[in-house]
A and B are shown apart, each in its own frame.
Chain A
């Protein structure tokens, strides 16, 4: 065993223990990776155009299955959450939305974990869920 008590990827990927902010951190990583893989897959998918119409049509058929629709709904959800939470992070990381630093009083409530930030995270998750439901309803003609 290493003398260094580093948790490694396991510790980074564990979303529990620290509340909604850590869950948002974890979702941001997962959705970022998911969108990266989708982007690579998307380039592969559209490059099938170079092999003619038949190749393109057969590739499109893959997305017309139930699994394909669910996959696309997940991509919609990942995209919406990553955008919403990304905007929250850009604003916060520029130092806005925390109020002024002040002397802490017990019981301590950190300004960085304020309700505005939590609300933005819940809104991002909610919007992602709504967008996924809308996408599913369009794709399955509900």
Chain B
């Protein structure tokens, strides 16, 4: 099961990459903000259908949950907008590298302190090695 979760996460990254390449094209014709809007609009429709047919959880938990745990969608919009605005200024390369570095550092901080209800697991040297390897990979690609 754990192996499977790793594979799913890699697949998620692959999907994200195809998505950004394709949306780059769409953004040129209909506009960047409009493209993000389209993404969330279709996403809502797709997930709405999936939820109606296959939803086994409890959507009403949204009413009792701490309010910060509802912020996922808005954080996603900040991410998308940051990329859209920064690419014309500093280029795709630097944008991706910066986003990834922010992502890695923040992941370490969140997991180390157990923020946002994430199970607290202290940073160990393997995890630091992993992040260093990722940074080397980024330098090599650019």
| A-B complex is real | no
Interface residues of A (CB under 8 A from B): none
Interface residues of B (CB under 8 A from A): none
